[in-house]
């Protein structure tokens, strides 16, 4: 399960206002945050009450549009000077004026993230997982894996965060899927650790203190620690699915 809201992913909007002879830095905050969900059955889905499966072309187009918001803007001011506006993720240091200008000259393209999203969606489908854009049952979650139904839910508004954040949540949930895999297209009734590192960052440690995780068991917390500790290895989810979900 991935946390969503004030406890996880955060976006900050900074405005540099450059008016000679000085530089004034104005701060304004905008955005939400995240965390992730878990597995626990035969890998078949034949229920008419499920949301429609995610459309990959529509998803990638929506993510590409959202990615544009991560490109800094330079806005000329009346009477001279320039205002620079950009967004940064939680934990990232503020960018210098020169770094902002460099990003405007060479904006990020997020092509690698989109390729990894494609590959991961393909692996999930091969494993018998149905991925849908639908609100998770647990409040505050950005993603949620329900093995009993072979169903992975992702918040519909997650696409507004862009390709990198979407991939991080999808990768987190794919780790949970791998934790629940058994040979022969079956799911475990109790997910198991994969033997990966459970050393989480201070930020992830803080996210695991969110109300979303207040009542989870010690074993469930270990599963979450394993997913959080490895979610930023963005190609790992596909590899784990290939290794454990045949």
Question: Per-residue pLDDT tens for 104-145?
Answer: 999 988 999 999 999 999 999 999 999 999 999 988 899 999
Give Cα 211 to chain centroid, integer Å: 19
DSSP, residue by residue, 90-148? TTPPPPPHHHHHHHHHS----HHHHHHHHHHHHHHHHTTPEEEE---SSTTEEEEEEGG
Residues 107, 175: Cα–Cα separation, whole Å: 30
Are 2 and 19 contacting, i.e. CB atoms less than 8 angstroms apart? no
Q: Which of 8, 62, 57 is nearest to 34 (CA)?
A: 8
3-state secondary structure labels for all residues of 17-81: EEECCEEEEEEEECCCCEEECCCCCECCCCCCCCCCCCCHHHHHHHHHHHHHHHCCEEEECCCCC
One pLDDT digit (tens) per residue for the chain, 246 residues: 766 643 333 333 444 444 333 333 333 333 333 334 433 355 554 455 667 778 899 999 999 999 998 889 999 999 889 999 998 877 788 999 999 999 999 998 899 999 999 999 999 999 999 999 999 998 889 999 999 999 999 999 999 999 999 999 999 999 999 999 998 778 998 999 999 999 999 989 998 999 889 899 999 999 999 999 999 999 999 999 999 998
Q: Report the alpha-carbon distance of residue 100 to residue 108 in Å, rounded.
A: 12
Tally of CA atoms within 13 A in the half-sphere of 208 that contains its CB: 21
Burial letters 59-84, b for 16+ CB under 10 A, else e: bbebbeebbeebebeeeeeeeeebbb
Q: For residues 226 and 194, what is the distance between their CA atoms, to the nearest angstrom?
A: 8
Query: What value does the mean pLDDT of the chain take?
Result: 82
State the Cα–Cα distance between residues 202 and 37, nearest whole angstrom: 19
Strand pairing partners for 14?
27, 86
pLDDT of residue 114: 96
Distances (CA, A) of 52 to 130, 131, 133, 150: 9, 9, 8, 14
Instruction: Tell me if 162 sits within 8 A of 65, measured CB to CB.
Output: no
Please tell me whether residue 244 adopts helix, strand or coil conformation. Answer: helix
Predicted confidence (pLDDT) per residue in 8-28, tens digit? 333 334 444 443 333 333 333
Q: What is the pLDDT of residue 80?
A: 87
């Amino acid at each position: 399960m991935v946390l969503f809201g004030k406890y996880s992913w955060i976006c900050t909007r900074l405005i540099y206002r450059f008016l000679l002879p000085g530089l004034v830095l104005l701060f304004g905050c905008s955005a939400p945050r995240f965390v992730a969900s878990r597995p626990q059955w035969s890998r078949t889905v034949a229920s008419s009450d499920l949301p429609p499966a995610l459309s990959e072309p529509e998803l990638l187009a929506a993510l590409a549009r959202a990615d544009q918001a991560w490109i800094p803007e330079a806005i000329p001011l009346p009477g001279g000077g320039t205002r620079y506006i950009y967004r940064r993720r939680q934990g990232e240091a503020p960018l210098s004026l020169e770094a902002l200008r460099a990003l405007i000259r060479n904006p990020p393209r997020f092509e690698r993230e989109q390729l990894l999203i494609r590959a991961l969606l393909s692996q999930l489908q091969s494993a018998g997982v149905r991925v849908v854009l639908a609100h998770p049952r647990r409040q505050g979650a950005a993603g949620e894996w329900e093995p009993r139904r072979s169903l992975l839910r992702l918040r519909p508004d997650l696409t507004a965060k862009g390709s990198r954040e979407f991939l991080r949540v999808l990768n987190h949930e794919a780790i949970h899927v791998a934790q629940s895999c058994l040979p022969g297209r079956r799911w475990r009734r109790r997910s198991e650790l994969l033997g990966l590192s459970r050393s989480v960052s201070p930020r992830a440690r803080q996210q695991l203190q969110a109300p979303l995780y207040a009542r989870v068991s010690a074993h469930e917390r270990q599963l979450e620690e394993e997913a959080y500790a490895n979610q930023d290895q963005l190609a790992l989810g596909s590899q784990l699915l290939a290794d454990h979900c045949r």
